Amino acid sequence: MWTKMLDVFVTHLFRKGDFSLTYPDGTTRRYGDGGTPSVAMTLHDPTLPRKIILSPELAVGEGYMDGTLTLADDDLRGFLSLAVDNIARQGSPWFHRPLDLMRHAGRWLKQFNPAKRSKANVAHHYDLSGELYDLFLDKDRQYSCAYFARPDMTLEEAQEAKKHHIARKLLLKPGMRVLDIGCGWGGMALTLARDYGVTVVGVTLSEEQHALATRRAAEAGLSDKVQFHLMDYRAVTGTFDRIVSVGMFEHVGVPHYREYFRTVHDLLAEDGVALIHTIGHTDPPGTTNPWILKYIFPGGYCPALSEATRAIEVNDLHSCDIEVWRLHYAETLCHWYDRFMANIDRARELYDDRFCRMWRYYLLACEATFRYNSQVVFQFQLSRRQDAVPLTRDYLYSDAAAEELRHAAE
C-alpha cells in the first residue's frame, strides 16, 4: 500500500525534470518530463515509503543523514533544486492535505517560546563548536543574509554591504544609544560603534556568542562603546535611540509577535528608528519544515508578510519602509556551502559524517528554498512617528544625499 501511495505522490510532484526512484524492493520508476536536471534516488529501508508519505520533508532529510536514502553521485544539490522547484509548482496532493492542516493547527504549540524554552532552542544551534562557524562564515561571522549590491562581490564584501545598508536605514548620529536584539557574535554592534560613533547594547541567549562578542569588543578597544549581555530581549529596560535586530525574529514564534513588537515600541525613543531584518516568505501563513524544526532551528518560523505587519500595526508602530530581498540569501548560502565543503574534513573531525550530511542538507535545502520557492528576506524600518525618517529613499543610495542628511541632523 505504502509503495503504491508513494508512487502516486511522486507522480504528482515530479512533473518537471527527470527523477528516477528505486524502491526498497529493487523496482525503479522514472518521473517527470525527461528534462533537466536528471536525478536518481535509491531507498534502502523498507519503512521509508510509509515515512515519506506521512512526513516527506522529515523522512527524506533523515534518510539522507542516516544513509538509508542515497543519490547517484551524491547529487544533493540537484535533487533539492529539482524537488523544491516542483513543490513550488505542484503543492501537496489531495490525500496529503489533511496532514498539512494538522501540522498547521499545531504550529502555535511548536512556536511557543517563553524565555526558558527560547534559551534552550538557541543553544541547540548557536552553542555548537565555534570553530564550525569559522569553517563557512565570513571573518566577521555574519550569520545572516548578505547584500550583493554587485554580483561579483565576495562574501566578505557583501556582508559589509549588508551592515552599512542597515546602518544607513538607522540614520545614525554619533552619541546615539543603540540596542541590538539577537546580537550574534557582535559583528553588527562593533561595526556601528567603530564606524558610526554610537554606543551599543547587544543581547543574546547564546553563551558561545556572548563570550566571543565580549572578547571581540575588548580586543577592538570598544568595551566602553559596546556591551553585550546574556539575556532575553524581553528583560531589557531603558530607552534607545535606535533598535536593530538581524536574523533574530525567525526565533520569536507567532504566539509572541505582538509581545516582540510591543517590546520594540516600549524601548524605542519617541523619535527613534528600528530596523528588523528577518527571513520571511511571500505565501500566506504556513509552518516550518519539520526537518528544519527538529534538527536545525527548534521553535523557529519565518513569517508571512501579513503576520509581521499585523503585529506591527497593533503596537502603534509606523512602517516607514519595507524592503524585500529576493535572491540575496540564495547567493549567501551558496558561498557558505562552498566554504563548508572546502573544510568538510575538519567538520568531520569536530563532529562526524552524519553531522556533515545534516549540515550539507541544511545549507542546500535552504538555498533551494530561496532560489526556487517563496522564501525571501524582509527589512522593516519602524518608528513611533511618521516623520522620523526622510520621505524618500535617496539617502540610502546617494552619498551626497546621505552627507546632506547628516549635516542637517547635527
Nearest-angstrom CA–CA distance, 154 and 386: 37
User: For residue 118, what pLDDT is reported?
Assistant: 74
| Residue 301 pLDDT exceeds 50 | yes
Nearest-angstrom CA–CA distance, 151 and 219: 33
- Show Cβ contacts of residue 97 under 8 Å, excluding neighbours closer than 6 positions: none
DSSP string, 128-139: S-HHHHHTTS-T
DSSP string, 166-179: HHHHHT--TT-EEE
Catalytically active residues are 366
**Do 301 and 289 meet the contact criterion of CB atoms below 8 Å apart?**
no
Nearest-angstrom CA–CA distance, 378 and 302: 10
> What average pLDDT is seen over the chain?
92
User: For residue 194, what pLDDT is reported?
Assistant: 97
User: For residue 409, what pLDDT is reported?
Assistant: 42
Q: Which CATH number fits domain 2-105: 3.90.930, 1.10.3470, 3.30.1050, 2.60.40?
A: 3.30.1050
Band of pLDDT at residue 318, cut at 50, 70 and 90: very high
Nearest-angstrom CA–CA distance, 89 and 372: 9
What is the tens place of the pLDDT at every residue in 340-374? Answer: 999 999 999 999 999 999 999 999 999 999 999 99
pLDDT more than 90, % of the chain:
80
| Residue 404 pLDDT exceeds 60 | no
Average pLDDT over residues 32-43: 95
238 in helix, strand or coil?
coil
Average pLDDT over residues 390-397: 89
Ramachandran region, residue 245 (left: φ > 0; alpha: ψ -120 to 50; beta: rest):
beta
20 in helix, strand or coil?
strand
Predicted TM-score (pTM) above 0.85: yes
DSSP string, 27-79: -EEEEESS-S-EEEEEE--TTHHHHHHH-HHHHHHHHHHHTSEEEGGG-HHHH
φ, ψ of residue 145 in degrees (nearest 5): -60, 130
More reliable by pLDDT, 397 or 282: 282
What is the tens place of the pLDDT at every residue in 92-137? Answer: 766 666 767 666 666 666 666 677 777 777 777 777 888 999 999 9
User: For residue 130, what pLDDT is reported?
Assistant: 81
Average pLDDT over residues 67-73: 97
Nearest by Cα to 304 from 285, 327, 278, 276 = 285
**Do 312 and 364 meet the contact criterion of CB atoms below 8 Å apart?**
no
- Show Cβ contacts of residue 394 under 8 Å, excluding neighbours closer than 6 positions: 401
Radius of gyration of the chain (CA): 22
Between the CA of residue 163 and those of 119, 275, 277, 316, what are the distances in Å? 26, 11, 11, 27
Which residue type is seen at 151?
A: P
| Residue 327 pLDDT exceeds 90 | yes
B/e letters for 124-151, b = 16+ CB within 10 Å, e = fewer, are bbbebeeebbebbbbebbbbbbbbbeee
| Sign of the CA dihedral running 283, 150, 329, 389 | negative
**Where are the domains positioned within the chain?**
2-105, 115-409
User: For residue 126, what pLDDT is reported?
Assistant: 73
User: For residue 405, what pLDDT is reported?
Assistant: 45
User: For residue 128, what pLDDT is reported?
Assistant: 80
User: For residue 230, what pLDDT is reported?
Assistant: 96
DSSP string, 284-346: SS----HHHHHHT-TT--PPBHHHHHHHHHTTT-EEEEEEEE-SHHHHHHHHHHHHHHHTHHH
What is the tens place of the pLDDT at every residue in 71-94? Answer: 999 999 999 999 999 998 887 766
Q: Which three cell numbers stand for residue 32?
A: 517527470
pLDDT more than 70, % of the chain:
91
Nearest by Cα to 13 from 96, 99, 92 = 92
Q: Which superfamily does 115-409 belong to? A: Vaccinia Virus protein VP39 (3.40.50.150)
Nearest-angstrom CA–CA distance, 233 and 29: 52
* Residues shown for the chain: 410
Q: Which three cell numbers stand for residue 158?
A: 557583501
What is the tens place of the pLDDT at every residue in 166-195? Answer: 999 999 999 999 999 999 999 999 999 999
241 in helix, strand or coil?
strand
Q: Tell the residue number behind the cell numbers 535606535, with chain if given.
A: 242
Q: Where are the alpha helices (DSSP H) in 67-206?
A: 76-90, 97-105, 107-110, 115-126, 130-134, 155-170, 187-196
